[in-house]
Structure 1
Amino acid sequence: MIQEFESGPEPEATRRDSGVTESSRASRGWWDRNADEYQQEHGGFLGDDRFVWGPEGLDEAEAGLLGPAAGLAGLRVLEIGAGAAQCSRWLAAQGAHPVALDLSHRQLQHALRIGADFPLVEADAGALPFADGSFDLACSAYGAIPFVADPVLVMREVHRVLRPGGRWVFSVTHPVRWAFPDEPGPEGLSVAASYFDRTPYVEQDETGRAVYVEHHRTIGDRVRDVVAGGFRLLDLVEPEWPDWNRQEWGGWSPLRGHLIPGTAVFVCERD
């Protein structure tokens, strides 16, 4: 779980069901409220125009999961859950034509603050406002997928807007982390819950209204979601924690990162 900032009374953390509508509403509200603190806390690590796949610091410039950087020029690329559009800014610098989409209006305001000479679109990943076959590539670095109740719906939408043979690459919290407490220190190294418990993590206010929702899927679930969405899985990348990275990011840390995976990156291709 990656929630870190919340104003007002401390919400109650629980595990309960949360459907598509409630999850979407909670995500929009949480990111609108916390975008400023998030960008202040993590903007330095993310940079203004870097493409980082997760807290480990795996950089697309080195990983080439979307394909060789030299081959991105002229391609239309959809970034889902773009936040302040750092990844789209890097793509534009390679000569690609990105479109940055996010559910949060406040996150997109940060994209404008930093600067964006490409389209910014406020929309839900489960209802992409684009024509069929509009894009050559799609990507998401911790955007949307961990927070949606129906990931197959998103997969099918991405499949629809990609051209045949288009690549779809997305990163999420590594599913194994759900068995461990969300703590960066030694207390986060003991199994505390069942890996197979798919009950969503929910933070709710005093009325029981969800203000933050994150959905757990096992590795097998994620693979099946990809296939059900019409994609072939080309690769599953589990970034190792590099020695240069001394930063803690919520429950991610050098201590934990050297022992258990924190991020999973799925590299897919549209049939």
Structure 2
Amino acid sequence: MKSLHTKDFKVNDSFSIAGSPTTLNNKASDDDKKDALKDISKKLGELQDKMYANNRYGVLIVLQGMDTSGKDSLIREVFKNFNARGVNVFSFKQPTSAELEHDYLWRHYIALPDRGKFAVFNRSHYENVLVTRVHPEYILNENLPGIEKVEDIPATIWEDRYKQINNFEKHLAQNGTIILKFFLNISKEEQRQRLLRRLDLKKHNWKFAPGDLTERNYWKDYQKYYEEAINNTSKEHAPWYVIPADDKKMARLLVAKTILDELEKYDIKEPEVNEEVTENINKYIEILNNEK
């Protein structure tokens, strides 16, 4: 399999969604990709065990993408070798009435990872500068002061939210949370094919909702606002990676490899064994072996 350099997918400069591929020209077979992912997923699981013992860093993985971009299956495959206590997955849907009683970041803040653990956001706080851009009427549900109708929404609200999100993520990073954000970039044609599969295969019918077709009509708007959001919020402390996602197996491999490559840059070691335990380990073994 051709070498994969995950830094190639990191957004460092101005990002153009139209200029970003949705497929990767790599001749790896499906078996090659599956084997590589299996190996990396195992290493990630071992690294998470060290993180849990080290108890210094938490890891926040943000997954964004158009409907059918493969977020659910990616989570299942990439994190399958994790200890269940080491990773929590949160799927953020339409805010509840209780969540709307707080600011838009609140429900994400309370889902952040403990030290030593991973949190995976399947959709995230970025919905508040994506879906609400396409459907600004959703802002009215937040009951913000001075905003009674769509026309009251100030033009500066989006720029303000980018600043708020950057400050939120910077605060997290400065306090021990490693943040990695992934945009799963699929083509409109690939989305069409995946929606058709949901309808053609009875066991997947439950995944389809008529609203999927409604949102598809806003494809260009979503692409525009994804580009704007990524350009405004890809920072060294919380970078975006744009992952070609028409090939699900390759997308999973790229995300897993990126996470591993980035975490290996940190000094994550298991704590040293207590000196008393080291000096008396044979004694303790003898005591346990002699128990009746």
TM-score where L is the length of structure 2: 0.32
- Which structure ranks higher in relative contact order (CA pairs < 8 Å, sequence separation ≥ 6)? 2
Flag the structure with higher helix content. Answer: 2
Flag the structure with higher strand content. Answer: 1
TM-score where L is the length of structure 1: 0.34
